[in-house]
Amino acid sequence: MARPPAEALDIIDRYGPHRSYPHGVRLDAGLDPDRLVKTHCCFCGQQCGIQLKVKDEQVVGFEPWMDAPFSAGRLCPKGVRRYLQGSHPDRLLTALRRDPSAPGGFAPMGYEEAVARVAAEIGRIQEAHGRDAFAVLTGASLTTEKAYLMGKFARVCLGTRNIDYNGRLCMVSAGAGNKKAFGVDRAANPWSDIPKAEVVWISGANVAECAPITTDYVWQAREHGAKIIVVDPRITPIARTCDLFLPVKPGRDVALFNGVLHLMIENDWIDHEFIRARTVGFEKVAEHVREWTPRRTAEATGIAESTIRRAAEMWGRAKSSFLLHARGIEHHSHGVQNVLGAINMVLASGRIGREGCGYATITGQANGQGGREHGQKCDQLPGGRDIADPAHRAAVAKVWDVDPDGLPGPGVDAYEIFREVERGHVKGLLSICFNPKVSLPDSDYVARMLDKLDFYVAIDFFLNDTARHADVVLPGSLHEEDEGTVTQIEGRIIKINKAVACPGEARQDWRIIQDIAAALGRPKGFTFREPREIFDELRRASAGGVCDYAGVTYEKIERQGGVFWPCPADDHPGTPRLFEEGSWNPVARGAGPYYFPDGKARFNVAAYSPPAEDVDADYPLMLTTGRVVSQFLSGTQTRRIGPLVDQYPEPRIELHPRLAAELGIADGDWATVETRRGACTLRAMVVTTIRPDVIFVPYHWAGPKSINRLTVSAQDPISKIPEYKVCAARLSRAPGPPDYAGRLEPQQ
């Protein structure tokens, strides 16, 4: 049904991605802006402060926000150029309906008519196939208000259990691991603890490219004498001058963590008193890591034994430390085990919950934290509550004024929703803030499942690659066209401010959702007049939960430069550092700082297993994927910003000169990567900064340049995160340029 209605080139011609450059008033040096709006960047989880320059109701530039909490004026190239997404020629200004006879395959339609059509299709599908036959896919770049509303919309208005979000691709392994070990899922420490640490351990985090301003925190630690340890298959910019670099073989992180813990125990570099008083489960873990001798660890990880010993000693002897990790250890079919291994190392050291003693995952998306707390996950209700827990259901149902028994149960993860399409269980889909055709693994499968849907409605501000399969597209809002809160990388709730109104027929996303609810004849609970009203309900719905926002107000955020949750009461200042001695939480109720009834943290056995798809004679290389500094996620926005495209125009295959020589590939040659899912021809980039048995390709591009057509859809059994970071591949020199060369612009 929902195949793209026109050839890709026709759709691109009409809807982009085209590149926007500064021109006109944006190049006017003498411009006197009408106002500067203090807000935050729309891209990553660091949420750097920025002031948007507004002239004649258009965002025309930016001015650094020097007093911004956390970032103090700093911005990466994406932040500097983010203003170019406004007034973009590709912007959707009306609703669209699929029409193969129209230029680009879509014809404009009236907004009300479009909403009515969406409601009618939802009604028809749910009537014929049951409520769960309509699914909702959402995203972690939405404000917390919108994320909360999406969860409520799915459960209350649609009554479907099938809602999940793109954080499934992002933070869920860390979240699951943190909940198992600490009972709560949030950065344990604010970033201000990083410069106070003696050792900073960075595993699987390309800090300089994916969280650029965190670099300064790490360098500041180094200025104070800290040792920096980096674990990565590539020498990333943060690794270039580190004190110790561990070039781990992709997918073997847990082996390294177990090996380090083995040496910590052997050399008695552990905090016995902390382990005794504040944790449970150490003995079992100690027993488990006994077999992880340096020799065995070296064999599994591909890191020299002497390097492993040196890392263990640096980490083991430290008096203070901060361990950071990101998708590099989390994007695995055993991502949760990797995270647990890292946490075991932290717990054994006893260095957590104090100044200069910290641990955190580096959350990826703008609202990666807030977006994973309040109910758009398939198994979750607001406040970080569990949808399967009767008490939790009752608490939220009361705020929503609905019957708890009427709330659906847990649904399935974002990828499984597509498998449910294949099984014929899911027939209709609404997506917002998610571009799964680019961002999910084995994405040709995803495209086929989109084609199988009876009805698909996408809400977006640009026609992203997934929305090309839609029956109806509703024009949503850009970040600067709405207000609300997000919770950034440290767990600090901050305020996004509106700079300009939506253009044309575009609407703020929460209004669109409420309009659909009204058209369905179920407006109850969806009559908010502004985001503040949604936030106030969210505060009540989260009260008493683990992610407690009850005492947070827009005014307090403004006054304090953000509020760290938990913040359970009006007179509570918030909690920058979790797990401090004597701290109170709603689970332990004073028994201890961790979120379990006994207040103690959990050691968990972290079991090693190789990647789901290991190398073999046919596919002898490990393919790993990731990001570049100038692009963000699936590129819906950043592939439309000209200066960012120019910085790194197209994906390239990074490979080591030794491998290149073996395969007869020179720098700049066209080369073809193949996996069991497909093939992709790109230019080669021959560098010594990568393991010779690994090739790397960034994933921000679509269509024939999309590496996620090749990645494996194996998932972690607990978190359901896909294994983006390793699959088996082979590489060869291409006989000539691929078909797309010369037909597509770099960003297309």
Residues in contact with other proteins by the rule CB under 8 A: 22, 27-30, 61-62, 64, 66, 73-77, 79-81, 208-209, 212-213, 215-216, 219-220, 222-225, 228, 235-247, 298-299, 301-307, 310, 620, 629-630, 643, 647, 657-659, 667, 686-689, 691-693
| In the block, residue with structure tokens 């009767």 | 390
Q: Which residue, 249 or 374, is less far from other proteins as judged by CB? A: 249
- Could you tell me how far CA 449 lies from the centroid of its own chain? 23
If we measure between CA atoms, which residue out of 369, 450, 388 comes closest to residue 155? Answer: 388
Q: How far apart are CA 163 and CA 719, in angstroms?
A: 15
Least distance CB 96 / other proteins (angstroms)? 32
Least distance CB 656 / other proteins (angstroms)? 8
Supply 503's token pair. Answer: 């253009």
Compute CA distances 512 → 95, 113, 142, 374, 457, whole Å. Answer: 11, 13, 14, 20, 12
Q: Which residue, 230 or 473, is less far from other proteins as judged by CB? A: 230
Q: Which residue, 398 or 658, is less far from other proteins as judged by CB? A: 658
Q: Which residue, 329 or 641, is less far from other proteins as judged by CB? A: 641
- Could you tell me how far CA 624 lies from the centroid of its own chain? 17
Least distance CB 689 / other proteins (angstroms)? 6
361, 365, 368, 370 alpha-carbon torsion, rounded to 10°: 130
The neighbour count for residue 524, using CB atoms within 10 Å, is 12
Q: Which residue, 169 or 686, is less far from other proteins as judged by CB? A: 686
Supply 684's token pair. Answer: 């080669």
Q: Which residue, 523 or 692, is less far from other proteins as judged by CB? A: 692
Least distance CB 357 / other proteins (angstroms)? 21
Q: How far apart are CA 400 and CA 536, in angstroms?
A: 12
Q: Does residue 371 contact residue 158 with C-beta atoms inside 8 Å?
A: no
Q: Please enumerate in sequence order all residues whose Cβ is within 8 A of that of 438, keeping only pairs 6 or more positions apart, or say none.
A: 464, 465, 466, 634, 635, 699, 700, 701, 702, 706, 708
Least distance CB 209 / other proteins (angstroms)? 7
If we measure between CA atoms, which residue out of 426, 366, 295, 290 comes closest to residue 637? Answer: 366
If we measure between CA atoms, which residue out of 484, 488, 578 comes closest to residue 538? Answer: 484
Least distance CB 123 / other proteins (angstroms)? 48
Please return the burial class of 636, using the count of CB atoms within 10 Å of its CB with bins 0-12, 13-18 and 19+.
buried
Q: Which residue, 424 or 620, is less far from other proteins as judged by CB? A: 620
Least distance CB 733 / other proteins (angstroms)? 18
Instruction: Identify the sign of the CA torsion 12, 92, 82, 700.
Output: negative
If we measure between CA atoms, which residue out of 361, 8, 413, 44 comes closest to residue 203? Answer: 361
In order, the DSSP letters of 575-599 are -SSTT-TT---TTTTTS-SSSSTT-
Q: Which residue, 502 or 694, is less far from other proteins as judged by CB? A: 694
Supply 350's token pair. Answer: 């006893």
Strand partners, 354: 357
- Could you tell me how far CA 745 lies from the centroid of its own chain? 27
Q: Which residue, 108 or 237, is less far from other proteins as judged by CB? A: 237
Least distance CB 332 / other proteins (angstroms)? 20
Least distance CB 748 / other proteins (angstroms)? 22
Least distance CB 356 / other proteins (angstroms)? 17
Q: How far apart are CA 550 and CA 64, in angstroms?
A: 32
Q: Which residue, 65 or 594, is less far from other proteins as judged by CB? A: 65
Q: Which residue, 190 or 302, is less far from other proteins as judged by CB? A: 302
Least distance CB 27 / other proteins (angstroms)? 5
Least distance CB 308 / other proteins (angstroms)? 9
The neighbour count for residue 304, using CB atoms within 10 Å, is 13
Q: Which residue, 116 or 663, is less far from other proteins as judged by CB? A: 663
Q: Which residue, 305 or 536, is less far from other proteins as judged by CB? A: 305
Strand 163-165 relative to strand 134-138: parallel, antiparallel, unpaired? Answer: parallel
Q: How far apart are CA 206 and CA 155, in angstroms?
A: 37
E strand map for 387-471: 428-432, 455-460
Please return the burial class of 136, using the count of CB atoms within 10 Å of its CB with bins 0-12, 13-18 and 19+.
buried
Least distance CB 212 / other proteins (angstroms)? 4
Q: Which residue, 77 or 746, is less far from other proteins as judged by CB? A: 77
Q: At what angle do helices 443-452 and 414-422 cross, to 10 degrees?
A: 50
Least distance CB 629 / other proteins (angstroms)? 5
Least distance CB 109 / other proteins (angstroms)? 38
Least distance CB 393 / other proteins (angstroms)? 44
Secondary structure element (H or E) that encloses residue 200, with its range = strand 199-203
Strand 563-564 relative to strand 244-246: parallel, antiparallel, unpaired? Answer: unpaired
Least distance CB 44 / other proteins (angstroms)? 11
Q: Specify the DSSP class assigned to residue 155.
A: I
If we measure between CA atoms, which residue out of 352, 363, 346 comes closest to residue 257? Answer: 346
Q: Which residue, 78 or 146, is less far from other proteins as judged by CB? A: 78
Q: Does residue 283 contact residue 277 with C-beta atoms inside 8 Å?
A: no
Q: Which residue, 61 or 592, is less far from other proteins as judged by CB? A: 61
Q: Alpha-carbon Rg of the chain, whole angstroms?
A: 25
Q: How far apart are CA 201 and CA 230, in angstroms?
A: 6
Least distance CB 603 / other proteins (angstroms)? 27
Q: Which residue, 27 or 569, is less far from other proteins as judged by CB? A: 27
Q: Does residue 705 contact residue 632 with C-beta atoms inside 8 Å?
A: no
Q: Does residue 566 contact residue 547 with C-beta atoms inside 8 Å?
A: yes
Q: Which residue, 128 or 666, is less far from other proteins as judged by CB? A: 666
